[in-house]
Amino acid sequence: MAFGLGVLRLTPGAFWRMTPRELAAAAEGVFGRRRGTAPPTRAALADLMRLFPDEARG
């Protein structure tokens, strides 16, 4: 509600008539597209693990 009424400045009636898909599309318009981002590949994950290994802390 804070996003719809505060950021988008929708009237309460317009907010409650929106579908979740419409609200998500509005959020993408404000924040950019975030859906559909693929997870890292095994190779990319292996590279990250090599670059940033877990260290024993003691």
Q: Would you list the domain boundaries of the chain?
A: 1-34
Specify the pTM.
0.53
Q: Which residues of 46-57 are buried (b: 16+ CB within 10 A; e: fewer)?
A: eeeeeeeeeeee
At 31 the pLDDT is 86
Report, as an integer, the average pLDDT of 16-26: 93
Instruction: Tell me the per-residue pLDDT of 37-58, one tens digit each, with 9 for 90 and over.
Output: 678 899 999 999 999 998 866 5
Q: How confident is the model at residue 36 (pLDDT cuts 50, 70, 90)?
A: low
